[in-house]
Structures are given as C-alpha cells and as structure tokens.
Amino acid sequence: MTRWTPDPTFYPSPSDAAGAPAEKLAYVAAFDRTAEKPDAIAVVDTDPASDSYGRVVGWTDLPHTGDELHHFGWNACSSALCPTAPHPHVERRYLIVPGLRSSRVYVLDTKDDPRQPRLVKEISAEELAAKADYSRPHTVHCGPDGIYLSALGAGRGDDGPGGIAILDHQTFDVRGQWEADRGDQRLAYDFWWHLTQDVLVTSEWGTPSMIEDGLVPELLLGRKYGHRIHFWDLAKRSLVQTVDLGDQYQMALELRPAHDPAATYGFVGVVISVEDLSASVWLWHRSGGSFEVRKVIDIPAEPADPADLPPALQPFAAVPPLVTDIDLTVDDKFLYVSCWGTGELRRYDVSDPFQPVFAGSVHLGGIVRRTPHPAFPDEPLAGGPQMVEVSRDGKRVYVTNSLYGSWDDQFYPHGVGAWLARLDASEDSFTLDTRFFPHGDEFRGRRVHQTRLQGGDASSDSYCFPSPSTRT
C-alpha cells in the first residue's frame, strides 16, 4: 500500500538530497566463498552517538547457499519524483539483492525492523531466464517506472549477451528484457543514466565464462575483456552509440554520471591497461549530438619485488592499482577512486570534470603494502578499498574490501579477510575513522562486498530537478 505523503527519503534535486539527515545504518552484502554457509545482509550501526557504533547490529541470512551476493539496491528512490511517471508515494523500503553466481534475486523488507531485514520474495534463476533471458544479475537501479537490473549473462549457459531486465517496483515481478535493439552490444556490467536526457549508459566486463573461475590471463592479454561503453535511447530502449576506449584498456566497469540533471557527463573506471598495468578513469561528455570520451585520470602501476606478488603478477614485477570502483559525491565535486591492488583510496576534485585535481589519498591493505587500519596497527590487512559508497552529504565514505570471490583468491591468495572502513571527509581532507572498523569475525566468516546506506547514498539516487543553486 502506498503512503499518503511522499517518502521522506525522496529528494527532487541533488542539493536537497545533500541536506538529508545522516544515515543511522548501513547494509552490507556478505557472502561465503565456500558456499557452505548462507550469504547474508549484515546491518552495521553508523550512528556515532550510539553505543554500538561501528558494529554489526543486525544479520539476515538468506535461505540458500552459493548465491555470491555482490551489488544490490533499493526498490524506489528519488527518481519516483520525476514527472514522466511520478510515484512519490511508493516507499524506499525493499532491498533488491541479486546473487551474482546463483542468478537468484531476493527482496528484503527493511521497514518493520531496519536491523533485521525480512525476506519477502525470491525470484528464481529460472524465472529470470524465462521472462528476461538473463542470468548473473549484477547492478540494481530504481527508475521512475520500475526497477532496472543488469545481468552479465544470457538466460542459458555461460555466455552473453548480458543486458538489463525490468522488475515491477511494487510487485517485483520480472517484466522482461529492457532492450528493444541492442545492436552488437554483448558484454555487460554496470549501467546508469542521464534520466532527464533520455540517455542510458552501459559498460562491459565479461560473460560468466570469462570471469566466474577468476581472471583468465589469456583473455586479458588477448584483450578480450570489455573496453567499450554504450549510449542508449532510454525511451526507445535502443543502442544509439558505442565508444571504444581502445582494447588495451581492459574492463571498463563502474559508471558514475553527474547527479546534476542538467549536466550530461560522467566518469567510468578502467581496471587495467595491458600495456603498462596502469588504471584509469575516463570522462564521457556530449559534444554536439554524440558522446565523446577522454582519459582524465591515469594511475601507474608500482614496481614490486616478485616475491611479494601472487603468481599471476610475478612476471610483471609490479603491482597494478586495479581501479575496481569509483564514486561521485552527490554535489558532483569529488570523485573517490578505489585502487584495490595497491590498497589506496584516492580522491579527486572534479569540479572541472575535464581537469580532475588530486585531492588526497588514504592507504589501507594492498597486495604488497598491507597497510593496517590505525585502530588495529598490528594487523596487516588483505584486500584493499574496493566498493566505495559516499553519504548523501559527502561527509562520510565507506569502503569494503572484497572484489569477487574467485578474483580475491587470485590477487590475495593468502586470504582476503573481511573489513568495512569509514572515512570522514571535508573539503580539505579525508581520514579514517578510528572508531569504525568492523572486520574479521564480526562478519561471521563471510567476505563483504557492497554497502548501501539507509535512506540512500551517492550511487543509488537519480534526480530530475536541478539544484536551486545551479539555476539562474
């Protein structure tokens, strides 16, 4: 049943959202790599005034094993205020939680007890395949007229094409495949949109057979992983333009369009260049009628003693940064960049998106450095800042350390562990919060992947109205 007044977590514009109250809870996807115990959503207290601040205060086990929880998202968000199909009285209360390995999709209700989300629906892999011909569901975005869910694989087998399925945002039924005309798009990963411009953007990783057993060196050196981004007509659901970054740039993953609905640019992170193991961030922008891209951030690999490296990297005597996630603050000012290989979280001032300015860095973990958290200086950390989530006001940044089960094992063969760190950010600095570091046994033997913040965060909402300050 719908509400009488709009959901209070919906905001018409980015600046309104930036004024939202701070999140009290964070939801974290936790998975068991051995597939012996069920995966879970862990609930972490993020209220500094609380006695249990920084601790796991809720836990919802899922009914099956082997799902490999990865990304997830809300059923509804600020896009419900968009005027084309307004639904302001739906509620942001359900988490849509896909199992990347099992292809199941769970729906969890957070309303009655936000600390113990309750499973209310399960979509089977068979249903997703039958109705949308997709498998390996990955990214969730709440659109004004439904829930958009990207998937890496086709409905049957371990190959592509991957794409986007649509779910009803109230019944969660699979409505079908989103694409009306996909052209030669085959590889899928992330997607997001310029909602007011009727533009949808998708990126490329690989099909299930290319990723599920780990990074395949032959495919990487053969430049077979994704290196293109696609621009679609959001209304007509057809591919309009494809831009190739160049086949040395392997794995164009996370897409972060500007939140300002009057802007038409965004950033995409590239994991690795096969020519020098560097990572990069690219800007897309509209020029005339079409989109152009340019590399705006380049992060070089760091020389390393082969003895400190996992077998896959020893021949190169260098540790690649591996930019596996990026996140743009709601005011579009700062871009956070995860370097999962070197164990570093970088920040860039992207007020001028064409000219990012390096604005600080924090080390944590890393293949070689293994930098400990300041609160536990005697514990070298594995993994690195991976999924990064920024609060709506931009003052808090959360990072988890697992990338993907089989890839964790390759790059951190001695175990990746599990940790969630929080940083406090201001205009001038960002530093690790020494009171907030749930890790190790707190996650009950699971690895932690993505974080979602109660009420919304910087990577889950879309706005249809420009901020008052940007209006003339």
Partner 1 sequence: MTWESYAALLALGAFHGLNPAMGWLFAVARGMQERSRTVLLRSLPPIAAGHLASVAIVAAIISATRSVVAANVVGITGGVLLVGFGLWRLLSERHFRWAGMRLSAAQLAGWSFLMSSAHGAGLMLLPVLATTPVPGSAHAGHELPGAGGSPLAALTGLGAAGVHTVAMFTVMAGCALVVYEFLGVNILRRAWFNVDRLWAGVLVAAGALTIAVTA
**Binding region for partner 1 (CB under 8 A):** 2-6, 8, 10-13, 16, 81-89, 145-146, 168, 170-171, 195-198, 234-237, 261-262, 464-466, 468, 471-472
Least distance CB 447 / partner 1 (angstroms): 37
- C-alpha to C-alpha distance for 167 and 171, rounded to whole angstroms: 8
**Do 364 and 384 meet the contact criterion of CB atoms below 8 Å apart?**
yes
- Between CA 103 and CA 123 the distance in angstroms is 9
Q: Which is nearer to partner 1, 11 or 134 (CB)?
A: 11
As measured in angstroms, the least distance from the Cβ of 230 to partner 1 is 18
Residue 13 vs 451, nearer CB to partner 1? 13
Instruction: Say whether 46 sits in a helix, a strand or coil.
Output: coil
First to last CA, the chain: 39
**How near is the Cβ of 459 to partner 1 at its closest, in Å?**
21
Minimal distance, residue 142 CB to partner 1, in Å = 13
Please report, for residues 179, 321, 327, 366, the alpha-carbon distance to residue 269 in angstroms, rounded to integers and kept in the order given: 24, 12, 10, 18
Residue that has been written with the tokens 């956070």 in this structure: 336
For residues 5 and 426, which CB has a smaller minimum distance to partner 1 in the complex?
A: 5
Of the pair 68, 260, the CB lying nearest partner 1 is at: 260
Give the integer Cα–Cα distance in Å for 353 and 243: 19
Q: In what order do the strands lie in the sheet with 199-202?
A: 191-194, 199-202, 228-233, 238-244
Q: What is the 3 state secondary structure string of 270-304?
A: EEEECCCCCEEEEEEEEECCEEEEEEEEEECCEEC
CB 5 to partner 1: min, Å = 6
Cα 210 to chain centroid distance, Å, stands at 20
Structure tokens at 127: 């249903």
Closest approach of partner 1 to the CB of residue 472, in Å: 5
Give the nearer residue to partner 1 in terms of CB position, either 11 or 404.
Answer: 11
Our CB check for partner 1 shows the closer of 170 and 410 to be: 170
* Nearer of residues 15 and 60 to partner 1, judged by Cβ: 15
Q: How far is the CB of 470 from partner 1 (least distance, A)?
A: 9
